[in-house]
Amino acid sequence: MSSSTTTQTYVPKTRVGKVTDYVDSRVGGSGIVKEFGRKIFPDHWTFMFGEVALYTFVILLITGTFLTFFYDPSMAETHYNGSYLPLRGVEMSVAYASSLDISFDVRGGLFMRQLHHWAALLFAASVAVHMLRVFFTGAFRRPREFNWVVGCVLVILSLAAGFTGYSLPDDLLSGNGLRIIDGVMKAIPVVGTYLSFFLFGGEFPGTMIIGRLYVLHILLIPAVILLMIGIHLFMVVLHKHSQFPGPGRTNTNVVGYPVGPVYAAKAGGFFFIVFGILAAIAAAFTINPIWNYGPYDPSPVSAGTQPDWYIGWVDGALRLMPGTLGDNFDFEFMIPFPWGVNALSLNVLVPALVPAAIVFTLMFAWPWIEAWVTKDKREHHLLDRPRNAPARTGVGVAGIVFYCVLWAAASSDLIATHFLVSLNDVTYWLRALVFIGPVLAFMVTRRIALALQRKDREIALHGRETGRIVRLPHGEFIEVHEPVDDYKRYKLVSFDSPEVMVPKPDENGKISLLDKVHGRASRFFFEDRVAPVTPKELEASHNDHHGEIAGAKDRESIASH
């Protein structure tokens, strides 16, 4: 009440003040600025990948709009008559011809096409890195579970946006990708052919698909992405940004700078930095040279045909799947139905769907899986250092290795030619690695994380090893340890370390199956845990080994030993 009266009585004196007051008294922007402008965000370089994703998305919208001015999504046949000589007179679709015109006959067109495509690759990459950061630091825990899910939806949407855009030039490379999609769809029993005919408007490739992908690419998918980004950012503001633990940083505060003026300026500047980096890349490095691939034609497939990196892992899975096992087992089953026999082609369906199903299911469900194991219902605004959650970090690295093996499989032919090895051997190794790799990665990562925790514990208790050997008067040699300062030590000792929960029998002395499974899971997560240093331990180490932790400044105390 009082604030509204002050607004009414306020009389601006300058011209600018009058204009702003005129607008503000009608729009009420000052309230938003007051609230949001004072919002505090913590500062850490790993917190900026979401921003990169947002900025690349804005760049995609700007460059994409430019491209729509000149692109024609028609599959009508035409004969190219543009500037690129090696394709002149060749029969092609209007879509491909207009993409070539953008590249060679529209002023600045090739730069905009390359900027759009490079921005798309960086968009997907920054989304992935942002997600990994959130995962490894445990930022998905309560209350941010739903925002994690929104993020997962955004990952899938960015894959969809990328794939639909990749197909639009109607060149040979992207046409081969669409053919794989068509093949996967047709492998679905019973409804597969119907789905394919529905999508392509008849037999592949038909005359509809480019126009349909265009609508998805420029209308539906960006609209849903924008909506999801809106929800995503709204929840970030609502939840506050999480922060790394440190002196003065607690679960109930946020230490950092306000949006206005610090982050508004930093973020605005960072947008132009990202834009500049991408513009430099787009100006100097070619991407998707569609003129090399030629117009789409269902008969040829050129060597080195791969999708863009974010779809590559699915292509890799298809490449790794053996067509037959031994001489007879071909993964194909004939299922008799009342209306006839339908084929079930597992050699297509398994690689095309199972890895994606595993990755996405685990991704979406992870916050609840971990909460069930830890039985932790608290709110977490402080982040974990990855080493302090060894099992989670292990699972994350296992996921990365799984993904990377499939990704490598998509470039198996290039690995073979560039490292002078046999393509068959590359395939055999990767087939083994796709199963063994994640397991090994989990074990190794977990051990490394535990070792780092022990190292942290050592440093917190005894200080840093200086490498200086001192001989005491009675002949004993000791290494001088330099104690860490309190700020550093705080970071080394303040973390959660849940213990293994042993299942407890109920009043009948029985342990339910669920509890047993939970006990196993808890042991899997937390066995061999390294407990954080307690104040008592710290006190004890100070008293008992003062000589060992004494620094260079404490020469007298060493001498007095």
Partner 1 sequence: MKNFSSSGTTRGRNHFVKALSQRRRHPLAAFALLLMALLVTGGIYAAASTANEAQAQTTTFTANDVEEGSKLFSANCASCHGMGATGSDAAPSLVGVGAASVDFQVGTGRMPLQMNGPQAQAKPVQFTEEQIRQMAAYVASLGAGPSIPSEEILDASEGDSSNGGELFRVNCAMCHNAAAAGGALTRGKFAPSIDGTSEKHIYEAMVTGPQNMPVFSDANISPEDKQDIIAFLKTIEEQGSPGGAELGSLGPVSEGLFIWVAGLGVVIAFTVWLTSRSS
Residues 406-425 within binding reach of partner 1 (CB under 8 A)? 410-414, 416-417, 420-424
> What amino acid is encoded at 539 in this protein?
E
Check binding of 490 to partner 1 (CB under 8 A): no
Taking CB under 8 A as the binding criterion, the range among 12-20, 116-124, 189-197, 511-519 that sits at the site for partner 1 is 116-124
Which residues in 14-73 contact partner 1 (CB under 8 A)? 43-49, 52
User: Which CB, 106 or 173, lies closer to partner 1?
Assistant: 173
Least distance in Å: CB of 555 to partner 1?
35
**Sign of the CA dihedral 521, 522, 523, 527?**
positive
Nearer to partner 1, 25 or 292 (CB): 292
Helix (H) or strand (E) holding 468, with range, is strand 464-471
Instruction: Specify the DSSP element, H or E, that contains 373.
Output: helix 346-374
Identify whether the C-beta of residue 379 lies closer than 8 Å to the C-beta of residue 289: no
Query: Does the protein bind partner 1 through residue 273 (CB under 8 A)?
Result: yes
Give yes or no for residue 293 binding partner 1 (CB under 8 A): yes
Which residue is listed with tokens 């309190």? 486
- Nearer to partner 1 by C-beta: 14 or 422? 422
Shortest distance, CB of residue 398 to partner 1, whole angstroms? 20
In angstroms, the CA 409 to CA 368 distance is: 32
Q: What beta strand segments (E) does 22-120 contain?
A: 40-41, 77-79, 91-93
**Min separation Cβ 98 and partner 1, Å:** 17
Please work out the total of residues on this chain that contact partner 1, with binding judged by CB under 8 A.
73
Say how far apart CA 182 and CA 205 lie, in whole Å.
9
CA distances from 30 to 14, 268, 351 (A): 18, 20, 55
Cα–Cα distance between 558 and 556 in angstroms, integer?
5
In the complex with partner 1, which residue's Cβ is closer, 312 or 438? 312
Member of 9, 15, 26, 89 binding partner 1 (CB under 8 A): 89
Closer CB to partner 1, 120 or 188, in the complex: 120
The site string for partner 1 over 423-442 (x = CB under 8 A, - otherwise) reads xx------------------
Q: How far apart, in whole angstroms, are the C-alpha atoms of residue 551 and residue 163?
A: 59
Stretch in the footprint of partner 1 (CB under 8 A) among 302-310, 479-487, 540-548, 549-557? 302-310
Can you tell me which residue has the tokens 């560039």?
418
Whether the CB-CB separation of 151 and 134 falls below 8 Å is answered with yes
Angle, CA 268 vertex, CA 266 and CA 272 arms, to 5°: 110
Who's near 159: CB < 8 A, 6+ residues apart? 124, 310, 311
Spatial separation of the C-alpha atoms in residues 249 and 55, rounded to whole Å: 29
* Nearer of residues 373 and 397 to partner 1, judged by Cβ: 397
> What's the closest the beta carbon of residue 553 comes to partner 1, in angstroms?
28
Contacts to partner 1 from residues 157-176, by CB under 8 A: 172-173
Nearer to partner 1, 90 or 231 (CB): 90
- Smallest separation (angstroms) from partner 1 to the CB of 119: 10
Q: Does 297 bind partner 1 (CB under 8 A)?
A: yes
Nearer to partner 1, 119 or 521 (CB): 119
By CB under 8 A, tell whether 265 contacts partner 1.
no
Rounded to 10 degrees, the C-alpha dihedral 182/184/187/191 comes to -60
Q: Which two tokens stand for residue 295?
A: 């117009």
The residue among 264 and 287 lying less far from partner 1, judged by its C-beta, is 287
Amino acid at 476: E
CB of 173 to partner 1, least distance (A): 7
Applying CB under 8 A, which part among 290-298, 342-350, 483-491, 541-549 lies near partner 1? 290-298
**Shortest Cβ distance from residue 386 to partner 1 (Å)?**
17
